[in-house]
């Protein structure tokens, strides 16, 4: 597994990949995480918990499906 920065311009394409998943948990967690990532550049008054929570949900859904 590798990680890399995703330019904001690519968020819609990434979101579409999750939205097209036939697994509801992966579809819901993935689109919610990307939606949150799109909001982060303007986020205020946050302790980061929501980001961690959404990431954990997405990670669990990915693991459930061997991704």
> pTM value?
0.79
CB distance 29 to 16 below 8 Å: no
- List the pLDDT tens digit at each of the 67 positions of the chain: 456 677 778 889 999 999 999 999 999 999 999 998 888 877 777 777 888 999 999 999 999 999 8
Per-residue pLDDT at 9 = 81
Per-residue pLDDT at 47 = 77
Per-residue pLDDT at 2 = 53
């Amino acid at each position: 597994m590798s990680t890399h920065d995703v330019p904001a311009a690519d968020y819609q394409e990434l979101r579409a990949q999750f939205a097209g998943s036939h697994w509801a948990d992966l579809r819901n967690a993935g689109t919610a995480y990307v939606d949150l990532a799109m909001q982060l550049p303007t986020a205020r008054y946050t302790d980061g918990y929501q980001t961690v929570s959404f990431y954990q949900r997405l990670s669990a859904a990915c693991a459930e499906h061997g991704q």
